[in-house]
Amino acid sequence: MKKWSVLLVLLLCLSWASHVSAKTTLRYSNFFPPTHIQSQLAENWCKEVEKRTHGEVVIQYFPASTLTKAPQTYDQVVQGIADIGMTALGYSRGRFPVAEAIDLPMGYTSGVQATAVANAMYEKFKPGEFKDAHILFFHAHGPGLIHTRDKEVNTLEDLKGLKIRSTGTSGLVMGALGASPVGKSMRECYQMLQKGVVDGSCHPVESNKGWKLGEVVHYMIQNFSTAYTTTFGVFMNKNQWNKLTPEQQNAITEISREWAGKHGEAWDESDKEGMAFFKEKGGVVIPQSEEEAAKWREAAKPVIDNYVKKVSEKGVDGQAVVDFIKANM
């Protein structure tokens, strides 16, 4: 009887040990501050993964660049410093030539629209630039507009020579419009504006509240005709992905599909809150006439043309990518 009791205990211990060993802990790196809605959504994604995998996959969340810096996040996910990461693709200009097309000044109207375009483009072209990581999903903010600190901008001439913080493709747009782009990340933007290092910033309306920029900018130019977006990628280390069971992978894929939509919707809701915050701080909104908007659109057109030419030299059919995006807006 004792032998059977000992055997039963051993079997129970082995079963428990097997259950414990099946638990996978992953690290998720994000540059958004913990109070930002996009950071909160990312943290909720982590919790949902743990819930739907029945506690088999647990994710430790590191916001505010506490694990990896935004420009290095993709590479450090590939290297395994982080297991999962979210960052703006534009922080690594030239690294993702096909995906760069999403950020072009297409005249976006919402985050939901831009997010749908980003994921559709990836599914259509499956660009090799992402081959070293497993892509979970993309999301993108609503129309990126120009905000200035002290100078009211009504025309292209008013914009000329102003130092505007912008990154990736938005920097190219600023250059085409006659401004002087200053390529710094969003984390540095507030202090640069506060200290007068730059005259303005190119950012979505939500950032006026999400990053408190509405406290340090006073004018918003509604340059919708040249509105760009910024694409954010959420990706995972390939080795870690391949270690997951098919059931765990399916659960994470399903959650990611849902969360892409949530991120897009959150961008739009945040734009409304950002506008309210901007006005509350005394911000002035400057609309554009159709005539002025057409001038800006024409001035920004070379950014799209140059993109097509540049990536075509690398063997990418840039025109096909641009045409696909326009057709799916």
The full 3-state SS of the chain, as one line of letters, equals: CHHHHHHHHHHHHHHHHHHHHCCEEEEEEECCCCCCHHHHHHHHHHHHHHHHCCCCEEEEEECCCCCCCHHHHHHHHHHCCCCEEEEEHHHHCCCCCCHHHHHCCCCCCCHHHHHHHHHHHHHHHCCHHHCCEEEEEEEECCCEEEEECCCCCCCHHHHCCCEEECCHHHHHHHHHCCCEEECCCHHHHHHHHHCCCCCEEEEECCHHHHCCHHHCCCEEECCHHHCECCEEEEEEEHHHHHHCCHHHHHHHHHHHHHHHHHHHHHHHHHHHHHHHHHHHCCCEEECCCHHHHHHHHHHHHHHHHHHHHHHHCCCCCHHHHHHHHHHCC
pLDDT at 219: 98
pLDDT digits (tens, 9 = 90+) for 175-194: 999 999 999 988 899 999 99
Model confidence at 210, pLDDT cuts 50, 70, 90, reads confident
| Phi, then psi, of 50 in degrees rounded to 5 | -60, -40
Say whether pLDDT at 262 is over 50: yes
Model confidence at 3, pLDDT cuts 50, 70, 90, reads low
Of all residues in the chain, what percent carry a pLDDT higher than 70? 94
pLDDT digits (tens, 9 = 90+) for 221-257: 999 999 999 999 999 999 999 999 999 999 999 999 9
pLDDT at 2: 52
pLDDT at 222: 96
Say whether pLDDT at 291 is over 50: yes
pLDDT digits (tens, 9 = 90+) for 109-155: 999 999 999 999 999 999 999 999 999 999 999 999 999 999 999 99
pLDDT at 12: 53
pLDDT at 223: 95
Q: Strand 133-140 relative to strand 144-148: parallel, antiparallel, unpaired?
A: unpaired
pLDDT at 6: 46
pLDDT at 20: 45
pTM: 0.86
pLDDT at 22: 74
